[in-house]
Structures are given as structure tokens and as C-alpha cells.
Amino acid sequence: MTQLTREDVLKLARLARLDLTDEEVETYRKELSAVLDYVAQLDGVDVAGLEPTSQVTGLKNVMREDKVIDYGMSPHDLLRLAPKSQDGQIKVKRMLG
Amino acid sequence: MASKVSPEIRAKYTVTIGIECHVQFKTETKLFAGVANDARDAAPNTLISHICFGLPGALPVLNKEAVHLGIKAAFALGTRPQKYSAFDRKHYFYPDLPLGYQITQFTHPIIRGGSLTIDVDGEQKTIRIHEAHLEADAGKSTHPAGTNYSLVDLNRAGTPLLEIVSEPDMHTAADAKAYAKELYLRMRYADVSDCNLYYGNMRFDVNVSVSKTDVLGTRTETKNLNSFKAVEKAVEYEVNRQIERLEKGEQIIQETRGWDDAKQVTFSQRSKEDAHDYRYFPDPDLPPIELDDALIDAVAGEMPVMPDEWRRRLSGLGLDVSQTDSLLEGELDSAEVSYLLLIEEVIDQKDFAKALANWFVNLEIPLRNDETARINGDLTNQNRLRMYRAVFELVKTNKLSSSNAKVLLTKLLAGPEVADIEDFAKQHNLIQESDEGELAKVVAKVIEENPKAAEDVKAGEMKAIGFLVGQVMKHTQGRANPGVVQQIIKTQLGL
């Protein structure tokens, strides 16, 4: 049985930029432990001699020519999708240097 | 900063340096989007698309030219590209990265291995390349002073980069600087990047550690250095800072540091505790790259001669390292002139080839970088060679002094083209007077005008002879051959 610690959950939350209550930390600690156990079943599969697979489509070398494409979207339309903008830039909460 | 570390203490430590360099590829469009790539003069957020914005459902499609340049870069680093490479997602959250991950090559980079040779104070050192991978750049953020917000411009988001990771084979600040310069030259010669350091086309991260034992010390990474000098100074600073700390019994913290160019110091940016867990995994949106030998060989055939090969070809001329480097760098100043090809064309005529190299290094290349000087843009390479050869012949036959050769070449380079160069030199009073009868008259006159100096020479004060030669040169407007003049003076004074 995997037992995630409270610190494990807080670290994951920090990486995901999530602010969790103490109650949520405890909930996810249990749930994520169970999820990991479920996935851990894969550890039992014999993969000796198998190449790691990262693609199942069989596709390769899907490339385009180095030319500008008109996607039919103006910068203005895109910028409007940002929650806030100013002077043509996306405005966000101040980042620390 | 003034170092408090004495050379004796410094000598106890081994310094180990590895460098990561981001090279911006000179493609028309971004790595995964058909959006123009040159953000230099573009207004913020005008070179963007749904792909750059990471909108749901937007799919990246790999730019063929970026792969082509990656293959060229492999050859430039002295190796062949990997036949199989693939893209991974590197996750971190930052406002200039709308996808929430950077697309990079973590497990299967396009380049593994390779090496380059640097010359540091006459010593040849081989620096191995660990790997180099393709990746997409992030956007640019600014932080207006006195506000509580930041502004994000995504023009640069998705620009193709090659991150070149060296092995930790460097041991001094001079090694680091030489490596950075050599990478620059190779990327320029391979023509994969504009390599404009001012615009951040090449950015260096230096990893530095010091140790008194065989075990490597804790390293720091100083990021985003954008000049060779900054690379050198940042290494120097880190080495001193780390040794000072260790000597005081303090620990080195593994951390990312920045470089303050104004203060010439590094400063802590984030500690290991805050370092990201990137959660890499293969990008399912991007099928792998598989290169076959036919394609790789075809690109090999496009490769121009690289700097190390040029050094080998020029090695017979007896040029020193800085002269050769001037030629290699000067070659990049102009698309029209090829100094190296011209020298190579006459490489079997060693004296002329050497004179040509010297004139390029000491005259034409500096003139080209002098804004007040003029160089005739219509001068073809072959006419340039003919011009230099004519001047070389005049010097060789003692008709032209070496200083007047420079004067003559400066006039000739400014153009327009001259058919009879000896005649042109005569018109400008640059041809040496070797007619001994004529010179003898001038010498007699100078001796008469300067009896004191003549007496001194007779009395064995050989310094005075230089004065007399100078007077003759003055009378002849520099046209006399100084060796001949000296001989005539001696004869006339009975020496």
C-alpha cells in the first residue's frame, strides 16, 4: 500500500499551483495513494525486451514547410481571450524577478 | 570585484565548468507554428497564433527547416545527428509559458556527442558535447516599475532553439570564454543562426563548482549570459565566491543565479528547494523524427568549411592564433568578400599568401569595421586578389616600402578600380627611390645640412644614422628605400 505523506501532497499542489485546505490535503493524500496503487499494477507486467513506446499512431516525420500560414486569427482576437491585457500585452499578477 | 582569494588558496581547488548554450535558429517561422519568427522589431503580441497561445485543441506541427538546421548543427559540432529523436513535455507554470509546459527533447535529443577544440594560451583543449536538443522558447515578460503587475509578450514563444550541453570539461574562465567563442563561430559558419548576441540569439548558462578532492563540489548555474565577456566574468566571480565560502567553512547551495552586468556580480535567483519537478513525458501531439542516411548525407554535402578545418588549412602560413581568429571572424563581416577563399587560392605561394593574410588582418578587416573608412563595394574577389598581388610584387621588388604599401592599399580599396597600379602609386609619390645616383645627391645634401649628426655617426654613434635616414625620407616624401639610404650614408661618411 502506497502511503503518500502530507508533504508529498503539498509538493504536488505547489507544482500544480493549487491552494489546498487541510481537509483537501488529507482527502487527496488518501485518493492519490489509491490511484498510485492502481497504476502500480503495471509494475507487474513483464516488459523485458520491449522498446519503450511514446507513440501509438505509427506516424513519423510529420512536418510542415517553413512558411507563414494564415490561420485566420488576428492578434487582436487572440489577445481578447486573455483575462486582462494592456498596451497589446497580456497583463498578469506581478512575477517575482 | 577584487578577489580576496589568494593564488595559493586558489591553487588548492579544482574548478569544473560545464556550459549550456541556447542558439536561436534562423528559420522563417516558429518551431511548431507557421508564425513569423523575427520578433526584433515587431510590436508585442503581433507574431502569435492559437498554437503560441496554447489554446485548447491547438496542435503543434514541426518545422522542417528547424530539423534541417539541427542536422547542420550536428555536423558543426563534429558529429552526425541521431537517426531517432522525439519531443517531450517539460512542465512548469509561468505566465510566459501559456501551454503550461515547454516542448523539448529530453529522452531522445537530435544530437549526442561531438566535441570542439579550443586554444587557450597556446594549449589545445578538447571540450566534449554531451548532447544538443531542439526546444521551443518561452515568451518575454516585463515588470513595469512601481506596479503590481507584469506584462507578457508571446512573440518569442515557440521560437526554435537548440540547447547545446557541454560535458564539464572546462577548468578556467578563459576555457569558458574560448568555448563560447568557438561555439559562436561554428554556429555562424554552419549558418544555422544569426548569432546576434545583443538580441539574445545565443545565451549561455554556466555551471560552476570547485573542489579540493576528486569528488565534484556542489555546483551553481548562472543563467542567461549574453556576451563572451560575461561568461568569463561570471565564471571568475563564481569561482572566487565559492572558494571564499568554503574557506570560511560555509556550504555551497545548489542554486540558479543571475548575472548583474552593471555590478559584475552573480546573485541568487532560486534555491534547490524551489527547483521545479518538471514531470517530463513524451509529447503525444508530436510524432518522432526519423532521419535516414540519405538525408543526413545530403545535408553533410551542404556543409561549408568549418573554422577548425580553416585553421588546419592556414596552419602552414605561420599566423598566430589571434591573426587566424581575426580572419575567421572577419570572414563573417561581409557577404561579398571571402578572405579565406582568396588566401586558399594562393596558399601554395606561401610568401604572397602570408602577406595577403597580414593585409587582411591588419588593414582590410579593420577598415571594414571603421565607420569613417571607405571600401569599394564593387570590388570583386578576383579583382581584389589582382590588386593585392600587384602591390605585393611592388614590395617584393623594393619599389614600395611596407608602410607605403598600406597607404597604397587603403587608397586602392576605397576605389574606383585602377588599371595600372604601379603608375597609380607613382602618381601618389609612393614608389621608393632606389636610383642610387639620385639618392646620393639627396644624402650629400642632408649630410651638409646636418654636420653634427654626421660627426656623431663617424664617431660611432650609430643612433644618429637613423636621424639622417629620416631626413632623407623626408626629402623624398618617404619614397627612398631606407636600407639603400643607410648604405649610401655609410659610404659617403667613409664607414
pLDDT at site B276: 63
Q: Which of A60, A69, A93 sits opposite B288 (nearest CB)?
A: A60
Question: Which helix (H) or strand (E) covers residue B425, if one does?
Answer: helix B421-427
DSSP B252-307: PPPEEEEEETTTTEEEEEEEGGG------EE-TTSPPEE--HHHHHHHHHHPPPPH
Q: What's the grid cell of residue B346? A: 594562393
- The residue in chain B having the minimum alpha-carbon distance to the alpha carbon of residue A18 is B93
Which residues, given as ranges, of chain B have pLDDT below 70? 1-3, 271-276, 433-435
pLDDT at site B461: 80
- The residue in chain A having the minimum alpha-carbon distance to the alpha carbon of residue B67 is A63
| Residue-number span of the structural domain to which B168 is assigned | 7-290
CATH of the domain at B454: 1.10.10.410
**Is residue B158 less than 8 Å (CB to CB) from chain A?**
no
Q: A16 to chain B: which residues are within 8 Å by CB?
A: 93
Q: Is residue B343 in a domain?
A: yes
Half-sphere exposure of B288 (CA within 13 A, CB side): 20
**Is residue A91 less than 8 Å (CB to CB) from chain B?**
yes
Same domain assignment for residues B16 and B70 = yes
pLDDT at site B2: 47
How many domains does one find in chain A? 1
B62/A94 touch (CB, cutoff 8 Å), yes or no: no
pLDDT at site B435: 67
Chain A, residues 22-51, CB within 8 A of chain B, namely: none
Q: What's the grid cell of residue B202? A: 545565443
Q: Which of B43, B66, B150 sits opposite A95 (nearest CB)?
A: B150
| Residue-number span of the structural domain to which A38 is assigned | 6-44
pLDDT at site B427: 85
Same domain assignment for residues B446 and B343 = no
Q: Is residue A64 in a domain?
A: no
The pair phi, psi for residue B59, each rounded to 5°, is -115, 130
Q: Which of B53, B94, B149 sits opposite A78 (nearest CB)?
A: B53
Same domain assignment for residues B405 and B332 = yes
Q: Is residue A79 in a domain?
A: no
> What is d(CA A9, CA B244) in angstroms, rounded to the nearest whole number?
39
Q: Is residue A28 in a domain?
A: yes
Same domain assignment for residues B477 and B448 = yes
Same domain assignment for residues B103 and B252 = yes
**How far is residue A2 from each of residues A8, B323, B338, measured CA to CA in Å?**
12, 66, 67
How many domains does one find in chain B? 3
Residue at a domain's end among B262, B290, B318: B290
Same domain assignment for residues B409 and B265 = no
Q: pLDDT tens string for chain A (97 positions)?
A: 788 999 999 988 988 889 999 999 999 999 999 999 999 999 999 999 988 777 888 899 999 999 999 999 899 999 999 999 999 999 999 886 4
Contact present, B434 and B484 (Cβ < 8 Å): yes
Same domain assignment for residues B388 and B449 = no
pLDDT at site B178: 96
Q: B279 to chain A: which residues are within 8 Å by CB?
A: 15
Predicted structure pTM score: 0.86
Structure letter (DSSP) for residue B42: P
CATH of the domain at A28: 1.10.20
DSSP B210-251: EESSSS----EEEEEE-SHHHHHHHHHHHHHHHHHHHHTTPP
